[in-house]
Every structure is written in C-alpha cells, then in structure tokens.
Amino acid sequence: MSVRRLAKIQPESFAFSEETRATADWWISKYPEGRLASAVIPILWLAQKQEGWVSEPAIRAVAELLGMPVIRVFEVATFYTMFMLEPVGTKALIQVCGTTPCRLRGAGDIMEVCKTKIGLKDHLSADGNFTWQEVECLGACANAPMAQINDYYFEDLTADSMAQIIDDFAAGKTPKPGSYAGRHSSEPEGGPLTLTDPALYDGSLAKPVILPNQPAPEPVEGGAA
Amino acid sequence: MFIKRIFTWWNGATFGALLTIAQRGRYVGEDDFGSKYYEAKTIRDGDAGRRRRWVIYKGYAEPSKVPAEWHGWLHHTFVEPPTVAPLKVRAFETEHLPNLTGTRFAWRPRGSLTRGGHRPAATGDYEAWKPE
Amino acid sequence: MPIAKVNGVEIEFEPGMTVLQVAELAGEEIPRFCYHERLSIAGNCRMCLVEVKPGPPKPQASCALPAADKQEIFTNTPMVKKAREGVMEFLLINHPLDCPICDQGGECDLQDEAMGYGRDDSRYVENKRAVEEKFMGPLIKTTMTRCIQCTRCVRFATEIAGVSDLGLIGRGEDAEITTYLEQAVASELSGNLADICPVGALTHKPWAFNYRPWELKKTESVDVMDALGSAIRVDARGPEVMRILPRVNEAINEEWLADKSRYAVDGLMRQRLDRPYVRVGGKLVEATWAQAFAAVAGKIKATAPDRIGVIAGDLSAAEEMKAALDLFTALGVKSIDCRQDGSALHPKWGRESYLFNSTIQGIEDADAIMLIGTNPRIEAPLVNARIRKRWIRGDVLVGVVGEQADLTFPYTYLGAGVDSLKRFVDHGPIQKEKPIFILGAGAFARPDGAAILAMAAEAAGSMGLVKDGWNGFNVLHTAASRVGGLDMGFVPAEGGKTALQMVEKGGADVLFLLGADEIDLGQTDAFVIYMGSHGDAGAHRADVVLPGAAYTEKPGLYVNTEGRTQMAERAIFPKGEAKEDWTILRALSDELGARLPYDTIEQLRDKLITDHPTFGQIDYAPGHASAAAFDLMAVGEKGETTDAPFVSPVKDFYLTNPIARASRTMAECSSLHAGASKMAAE
C-alpha cells in the first residue's frame, strides 16, 4: 500500500441516484438522531457502488448528507483501501489475493495473466474496462489462489481460468463466481471425507430434551399480555 | 634567491621535486597564475594505479592558487587537463582568487573596524512612521 | 479516596484519574507526546508506558489507563525504561535528523525525551519516510516529515477551537495530518496548534527561522489585544520582540492564546512613532521634545478648559490614564472620556454594571448563557473557547441576541435586536441555577446604549441572574484599557462631553488623544495632540505627535473585563526618542504649570491605588463578591430605543488596533479571511 491521494482529475459534481438515496436513508434510519456519522462507511460504500469509485465531490456529498465535517469523511475514505480513490475498470475490478497461502498456490501466475491481459497493477487498463490490484488475505485460503472480482470471489484459479474469466468480462458476459475446480465451497476436492452420514448432523440421533430457556410459543394477537 | 631555493619549500618547488618531475614528468600546461602542471609518464608502485600529477608554483607555493579546473585535474577528478577539455565557465562564476586570509586583501565584513567600523542597522531595528 | 502506590510511595487520588495523572500527582514525570491534559486521550504515541501491578506483565500506556485502588505503579523500572527506549526508537525511525534547521529545536518534546530515552545511534538503514508539506494558512508552517502522528493538533482543532478542519488521513506509515484539500485553518486560535505540536511539524510561519528559543529574553506580561488580559510571555532579542507565547492562567486563557495576541508582534516593529512631530504650515515636521511640549503647552494654555477634550484609547495602561486624568482635571478640563466607541457604560451605576461578574472561569459553572450583542469568537476568542468548553460538557442553554454568526457551537437564535431583548424583561425567574448574560459592545456602544443596558439589567433581574453567590450579569469589553478607565473615573465630569461629542465639528478646540485611533476624527476641527506608539488614524490627523511606548515597552497595570487588575512588565525599551507615556504627561505637567505629584511609577501607582483601591488588588477578580449590593434596577437609563439590530463592533478580528494594523501577518490573515468569507457568501 502506498500513500492514498484523491485522483488528479475529478468529476464536476456528484449526486446520489434515487435508488442509492433510498438505500442510504435506510442505513441512516438505523442510527439515532445526532449519530448519523455512524453511517459514513455504508454511505461511502453506496457512493462507490454508484460511481465505481469515490470522488472528491462524492466525499463532500456524503459529508453533507450526514452533517459531518468533510475532513472526517475524507479520513475514512483514505483509511480504508476498499474505497477506490481513482476511477476503476468499468467491467471489472480484479483484486488478486497475494498473501502467503494464495502465493504458494500460484497467485504469482494469476497476477502475470492480469499483467499481460490488463496492464500494470493499480492502473486503469488502456480501454478503461479493467483494473487489477494485489490485495492482502481475503480469507478464502482453503480455496487458494483466489481473486475478488467486483462483488464475488473467484476461487481455485489457474492461469487459464483467470485468462478465460477476463476474456468473458471483456466480452460482456458474467462469469460464474465460486470455485473453478468444481468444488461447492471449501470441502476437500473430490467430495467430503467426514460427516458422510447425514444422521450425524441432522439431529435424528439426539436425545429429545426440553431446554430450560426454550422460548415460549408466540403469544396470539390480542391475547392476554 | 638561490639559497632560498635550496633551504625553503615555499618558494617554487624544492630541488627534489624539480628533479623527480624532470625525470618522470611530462609537461601538461600552465594556468593563469603561471604555475606549471606535469603528469608522470609511467605508473609506479605506490602511485595508486594512476599517473602522478604535479604542480610547480610560480613564486610563492600556495595551494589555493590552483584554479578550479586545474585543481580537479590535479586530484584526478577530471581525466583530461583543461588544456584539452576546458571547463565550461558559467555566467555566475567569478575569477579564481587564492586564499587571501592573512593578507591585506582579506575579506572584512561590513561594520568591521578595519573597514571604517560603520555598522549597518541591526536586523531587529524598527520601521519608523513618517508623516506623508 | 482510593490510594495507589507510585514507586512504593502511597498517594491518594480522585476516582477517575488515569495512571499518568496519579504518577504526576506523586511527582513522577511521565514522558508523553500525544497526551495533553486539556485534550481528549488518544493513547497513540505509547511513550507514557509504565509498569502496573496487578496487571499483565507488560508495560501499559499510563495516559489511557484508569488508576485503581491499591494499584502499584512503577515508572522507573528497567522494563519501563527499555519499553520507552523501544518506543522512542520507533518514533525516530522516520523522524528526520534536522534539529539544527528546525524551529522547534531547543524546545522540542521529542528532542528532550530523546535525551532520556534515545539511542546514540540508529539500527535503521532503510530510507526515512518523507511527507509532502501541507498548506495550513499564513500562520502555521508545516514540515510534515517531522510529524509523529500524535494527533494533538487534530484534537485541538476539533475540541477546543471547534473547527473540524484538521484530520489524519491514510493509515500506518502513510498517515498524514492535513486540512481538507489544504485549506487554511479557519480558527482564531490556530497559533496554539504550533504550541501543542510536540515536534517541529507545525511551527509558527511568521516567525520561521527567526530565533532560537535560548537566545530570547523572556518577560512575563499581559496581553492587550482584547479585554481579557491573557497571560503572555514576551520573548525579545535585543530591541525586537520576536514572539509572544501564552502563559498558563487558568482564570483567563488556560494555556491558549488568540492569533492576534500572538502574531501581531511584527506590528511592534512597523509604523512606529519614534520622535515628536509638530504640524507646521499644514505638514508634520520632526521636532524635539522641547518644541513639541512648547506647542502643546502653548495651545492648551491658550484654550479655555471647557474647550479641551481628552480621549483614552484601547491599549492605554492605567498609569498614563491616571496621569492624564490628574493633569487635565487639575487644569479644569471636564471633557474626559475613555469610551471612544461611544459606549454607555458608566461607573456611576456601580462597578458590577461594567464587569464580567461571573468571571471567565465562571462560564464553566453556568448552565444558561445568553449572548447579547456580541460575537465572542471575534471579540474575545478565548471566552468563546470557554463557552464551547462548557457546551461540550452538555446540559447548557446557549442563546444569542444579535448577529447570527458561526460561534463553533450551536445555539438558539433569539433575535437580532432590542425587540428580542425586550421579551426577556418580564420573563420571570429562569429554572436554572447559574444563568449568565454576556453583554457585548454591540448592545451598549450605540446611541441608545444606556436604555439597552437598563433593559438588559431589568431582564437579568427578572430572570434571577444575580443572587447570593452568583452574579450572572456580564459585560464583555473589547478594549484592554476600558475597565481600568471606568474604574478610575476616566469619564466626563458634570457638564463634560463624551468622546463622540468631542470629535464632532466644533466639539472641542484641543483634543488630547492617548492612543485613541478607533474614533472617527474626520469631522473635528480641533487642534489634535496624539500620544501613542503607532502612526495610525490618530497620528495622521494630529497637529502634535508625542511618541509613546507600546505595551511591551512599558510597565503597566491593565484591568481586564472581569475587573482583574494585572501587571504587565517591560520587555524592551521604547523606540527612538519615545518615552513611557506617563513620563510624557509628567513632563508636560511641568510645562503647563500643574506639576503631577509623582516622579516614579511607584509613586504614581501609590496615588492610583490610594484613589482607587481596586487597582491594588493584583490578580483578583471580584466575581460575585458584591452580588448582594448590586442593584440591577439602577443600571442604565430607561429611554427610547431604536430597533436597529445589534452589530459587533469588531468588523475584522485581525485589525482591531494600531499594532495589529501595522502588522503584515495580520494584514495577510485579514485578506485571506475576507477572501474566504467572500467565497462562502457567493
């Protein structure tokens, strides 16, 4: 990570779309009066969802919406690396995990693919469609190597599958997220090795007991209260 | 004059130096003060792998008399002597002067007693109001 | 009370204190960078590590750790020393070794602590971090590479100054202190940022590279830029005042100082009156003291006393006002006034009628505050900071009658002028323990000031502001000399004219101005004698100029808005042929044949204290002492009022007096501020 600055070229203005505004109001309604600043991260995130990145006018708009000093919003936006302060690819923002487990399982090859297909790390591609970044652990080590593309995890990647995914995005398709090694989630390859019998976990073997704190049945509307 | 040459080292060069330079040296050039510069023809052990370079001062032996371009050559900063590759003289550079400390021409700051002793106003002095 | 042991010594402490405070109580000094007793606790520099038992076997940050009963605190064990050395080494990893060119050098916390906890070499071979400089306005110079991210400045700006301009952006090694998009810090207290900065990251821009702290002669004095009389330290080198820093005075300025008081010092070096001038043939020409005195004496002797007027300015010390009062009263002059702003305050209604009776510290006890015709942010920034401090603690009502300005805290706007005030006249007792009014010059310095004063006093009486043990009727002055003048009766005698009447066309034949520059001299056709330190409005109009001393150049008594008499010391000597003002009047009295009965300032002060005993009570503010004897109904004169809104007399915070107007720094601040407010208005 390096020093994070606002982008040199900034849009003239920022306005919340109606949809964003409605979601923002829902977030704001979760916090009591006078504590609106608590909603700054979700609202910044919404602004980023709307525009793809957080621009300077967007920071001001968020500050105005929440009644915060604009520097406080700026602090949050520069602190969290999930807020993009520069424009990112319109089709995909690829965040390749480069932490040890992924690295050991071949994240380097995946980055190499990104480099040849998209260009330099942290730079918008020439056509403006892609940006790729190296990020720290995204917590899917069991499915290493992996990358987060836009909102989804793409796991068990290989150089070939990564190249295919990028091509699909470029062609306007929506590649399927999840494991590219045919796994459902993070179970062992080739199917589960434990808990193979459903009776072990569906409760059928358990002794029927009555819990002391078992919730009472729901009171009926209009009943004695 | 001759005796001075024998017993002092600060009038020109000593005989030993003259002898060595005459034996080993090759004349390279002369600066504006008339000092002559020589370079060894051969590299010997103890020469740090490079040709020794010498200066024979004209008159008083004063190292600060060596101008910048010859100084650089003498100390092996430049490969070529200024006779071959003259330094570019920039507009802000002044003529080379030897160190004048201890001489009549030594620098005296403004306000020095030897320069009349008239001190300029101190930095802390105030601006007086003047009626227009 | 709980008891803790600090290095084996038992000490009692208040519940809620931190380990650091308890250790300080026991006399153990804890090194710290981020901790500041007037700011919130951040706990991010880690320099204050101590060992605490019972507790985990590791050093603890004492500034953020609440002390507990029967706790054992160790501040000097080998573990503590080693831990602090480790912290210091980390702090110095990225701190540049530029102490020789750093303005903080010699008074730097990091430098000092490095003497105790620093290594003599570095184990760090990597490149040091470099941070881009930031622009923070004309007063704060930044060298952000030196910053150790203590965030004291961010907390000061947010909490004390009330302008959330500064922030810590980025994180980790890339954390930087900046203002949003590098705007200037919009505060009247911004100079304190440089004071609280423990390193040389924020320094004073106007004084950059001008001095080293150890070469300055320090003189403890009193500020005159506003009526608070903040405690200051005048640091001078030779004949020049290099800087002014605040001293701690809990009763007035805590440890802060407003920018004008601090940075107007370059005004002490410019536009100085350093020799007498006499107007000859329509032009002021240089003169000797004897010539000037002859001109003055000739004119005064030839003029009937009732055609002579004397006006004291905003920066005059009590001594010269007393000398002028004695001299001109002896000559039979009745038109004597210290209220050049035309205020209606008068000593005849009792001393309480023109004092800040609750005291400035008392603001912290107040539970309802009404500001009437005042904008404390520009009239007295430190009063504003106190109100803000009170507001932060919560449970306080703040109301404003007058200008609707940004005061850095929210308030209830009650109206613009007299009509809004009138509603409170028969309001009835307010359900608050300690309510206060703060009455500004915007309310009483106008033609109907006496009536407004009466109305405000009536409202104060109705709402129960004055009771046993509490006097909430406060007058906030804007001039350092005003209370002193009122205390000694520097007001027109029976049949005399007020300051504003004197400067009317034909109001007087001879006007004697003691540094009065704030009054409009455009109409008067009088022979004007100006005695003062700076060539400003008064000197331009004057027929005779008598060069006096500025406030750093004379010892003097100043009475602040609370009625607290404070003694200022001389830091440097007057410029050129200028003299201390009272000695000019003493010499003039000889020429006029009305010799003043004192030859030394001690004798003058004796006379002053004999005549007006309040001047003998140095550093004493009466507060509510005489609340029982204070008759609010007698204050002011009931009469007609106009419905003009209250307007603060301070138009431009940075240019309120001749010294500030002579200052380049203040001019720069003023133009920047004007530009900023113009942009905001568009």
Question: Does the CB of B122 have a partner CB in chain C at under 8 Å?
Answer: yes
pLDDT of B61 strictly over 90: no
Return the pLDDT at A27.
94
**Sign (positive/negative) of CA torsion C445, C446, C450, C454?**
negative
String of DSSP letters for B65-94: GS-HHHHHHHTTS-SS-TTTSPPPPPTT--
Question: Does the CB of A3 have a partner CB in chain C at under 8 Å?
Answer: yes
Cα–Cα distances in angstroms (integers) from residue C509 to residues A60, C312, C529, in the given order: 61, 17, 11
The tokens of C410 are what? 């929210």
Query: What's the rounded mean pLDDT across residues B53-81?
Result: 91
The whole-angstrom distance between C174's CA and the closest CA on chain A is 5
Bond prior to A145 in cis (omega within 30° of 0): yes
**Sign (positive/negative) of CA torsion C107, C110, C111, C116?**
positive
Average pLDDT, chain C: 93
φ, ψ for residue C278, nearest 5 deg: -130, 140
Q: Which residues does B75 contact at the CB level (< 8 Å), separation at least 6?
A: none
C308-364 pLDDT tens trace: 999 999 999 999 999 999 999 999 999 999 999 999 999 999 999 999 999 999 999
User: Crossing angle for the helix pair A56-66 and A18-28, nearest 10 degrees?
Assistant: 40
Return the pLDDT at A118.
93
Return the pLDDT at C291.
95
Q: Which residues does C253 contact at the CB level (< 8 Å), separation at least 6?
A: C223, C228, C230, C231, C246, C382
Do chains B and C have 3 or more beta-carbon pairs under 8 angstroms?
yes
Instruction: List, in order of start, the domains of chain A with CATH numbers.
Output: 18-79 (1.10.10.1590), 92-179 (3.40.30.10)
Average pLDDT, chain B: 85
How does residue A205 score in pLDDT terms, banded at 50, 70 and 90? Answer: confident
Do chains C and A have 3 or more beta-carbon pairs under 8 angstroms?
yes
The whole-angstrom distance between B127's CA and the closest CA on chain C is 5
Q: Give C634-646 as a 3 state SS string.
A: HCCCCCCCCCCEC
Return the pLDDT at A221.
60
Region of poorest pLDDT, from A154-158, B29-33, C157-161: B29-33
Gyration radius of chain B over CA positions: 22
The CB density around residue B52, as the number of other CB atoms within 10 Å, is 19
Query: What's the rounded mean pLDDT across residues A58-87?
Result: 94
Which of A1, A2, A3 to substitute to test the interface with C, most C CBs within 10 Å? A3
Q: CA–CA separation, C451 vs A144, rounded Å?
A: 83
Return the pLDDT at A195.
85
User: Crossing angle for the helix pair C318-330 and C601-611, nearest 10 degrees?
Assistant: 70
Q: CA–CA separation, A93 vs B100, rounded Å?
A: 70
Return the pLDDT at B112.
79
Cβ–Cβ pairs < 8 A, chains B and C: 46
Return the pLDDT at B119.
65
Region of poorest pLDDT, from A158-162, B102-106, C143-147, C265-269: B102-106
Task: Single out the residue of C484, C477, C478 nearest to residue C260, CA to CA.
Answer: C478
Task: Single out the residue of C295, C292, C296, C289 nearest to residue C328, CA to CA.
Answer: C296
- Please give the residue of chain C at the shortest CA–CA distance from A57: C181
Query: What's the rounded mean pLDDT across residues B2-25?
Result: 84
Bond prior to C54 in cis (omega within 30° of 0): yes
Question: Does the CB of C272 have a partner CB in chain B at under 8 Å?
Answer: yes
Task: Quote the Cα angle for C570-C576-C581, to 5°.
Answer: 50
Return the pLDDT at A225.
42
How does residue B124 score in pLDDT terms, banded at 50, 70 and 90? Answer: low
Nearest to C535 among B122, B123, B129 (CB): B129
How does residue C153 score in pLDDT terms, banded at 50, 70 and 90? Answer: very high
Q: Which helix (H) or strand (E) holds C677?
A: helix C664-681
Query: What's the rounded mean pLDDT across residues C116-125?
Result: 88
Task: Judge contact between C199 and C147, C-beta under 8 A.
Answer: yes
Task: Judge contact between C438 and C374, C-beta under 8 A.
Answer: yes
Whole-prediction pTM value?
Answer: 0.84
Q: CA–CA separation, A75 vs C175, rounded Å?
A: 10
Question: Does the CB of C239 have a partner CB in chain B at under 8 Å?
Answer: yes
Cα–Cα distances in angstroms (integers) from residue A119 to residues A98, A111, A126, A147, C569, in the given order: 17, 10, 8, 17, 70
Is the Cβ pair C272, B125 closer than 8 Å? no
- Please give the residue of chain C at the shortest CA–CA distance from A83: C170
* 3-class secondary structure, A93: strand
- Using a CB-CB cut-off of 8 Å, the residues of chain A touching C172 are 1
Query: What's the rounded mean pLDDT across residues C635-651?
Result: 89
Q: CA–CA separation, C167 vs C174, rounded Å?
A: 13
Query: What's the rounded mean pLDDT across residues A167-172?
Result: 93
What is the ipTM for the molecules in this complex?
A: 0.89
> Is beta strand C49-53 parallel, antiparallel or unpaired with respect to B36-40?
unpaired
Nearest to C270 among B123, B127, B131 (CB): B127
How does residue A218 score in pLDDT terms, banded at 50, 70 and 90? Answer: low
Question: Does the CB of C534 have a partner CB in chain B at under 8 Å?
Answer: yes
Cα–Cα distances in angstroms (integers) from residue C285 to residues C236, C280, C291, C515, in the given order: 31, 7, 11, 20
Question: Does the CB of B129 have a partner CB in chain C at under 8 Å?
Answer: yes
Share of residues in chain C with pLDDT > 70 (%): 99
- Please give the residue of chain C at the shortest CA–CA distance from A60: C180
- Using a CB-CB cut-off of 8 Å, the residues of chain A touching C174 are 1-4
Question: Does the CB of C595 have a partner CB in chain B at under 8 Å?
Answer: no
Is the Cβ pair B127, C284 closer than 8 Å? no
In the complex, which subunits touch B with 3 or more CB pairs below 8 angstroms?
C
Query: What's the rounded mean pLDDT across residues C303-312?
Result: 94
Residue A107's Cβ-side half-sphere holds a number of Cα atoms within 13 Å equal to 28
Return the pLDDT at A224.
46
Task: Single out the residue of C243, C183, C178 nearest to residue C217, CA to CA.
Answer: C243
Return the pLDDT at B121.
57
The CB density around residue C676, as the number of other CB atoms within 10 Å, is 14
Query: What's the rounded mean pLDDT across residues B29-51?
Result: 90
Q: CA–CA separation, C533 vs C537, rounded Å?
A: 12
Is the Cβ pair C171, A71 closer than 8 Å? no
- Please give the residue of chain B at the shortest CA–CA distance from C663: B127
pLDDT of A1 strictly over 60: no
pLDDT of A126 strictly over 70: yes
Nearest to C269 among B126, B131, B132 (CB): B126
Nearest to C271 among B122, B124, B127 (CB): B127
pLDDT of C294 strictly over 70: yes
Return the pLDDT at C664.
94
Beta strands in B1-132 (DSSP E): 25-30, 36-40, 53-56
Query: What's the rounded mean pLDDT across residues C396-418?
Result: 93
Return the pLDDT at B17.
87
Query: What's the rounded mean pLDDT across residues C402-409?
Result: 92
- Using a CB-CB cut-off of 8 Å, the residues of chain C touching B127 are 269-272
Q: Which helix (H) or strand (E) holds C537?
A: helix C537-541
Return the pLDDT at C681.
58
How does residue C386 score in pLDDT terms, banded at 50, 70 and 90? Answer: very high
Question: Does the CB of C164 have a partner CB in chain A at under 8 Å?
Answer: yes
Query: What's the rounded mean pLDDT across residues C98-116?
Result: 93
- Using a CB-CB cut-off of 8 Å, the residues of chain C touching B128 are 272-275, 575-576
The whole-angstrom distance between A4's CA and the closest CA on chain C is 6
The DSSP output letter for C469 is: T
Q: CA–CA separation, A150 vs C123, rounded Å?
A: 43
Question: Does the CB of C265 have a partner CB in chain B at under 8 Å?
Answer: no
The DSSP output letter for C160 is: I
pLDDT of C30 strictly over 70: yes
- Using a CB-CB cut-off of 8 Å, the residues of chain A touching C166 are 71
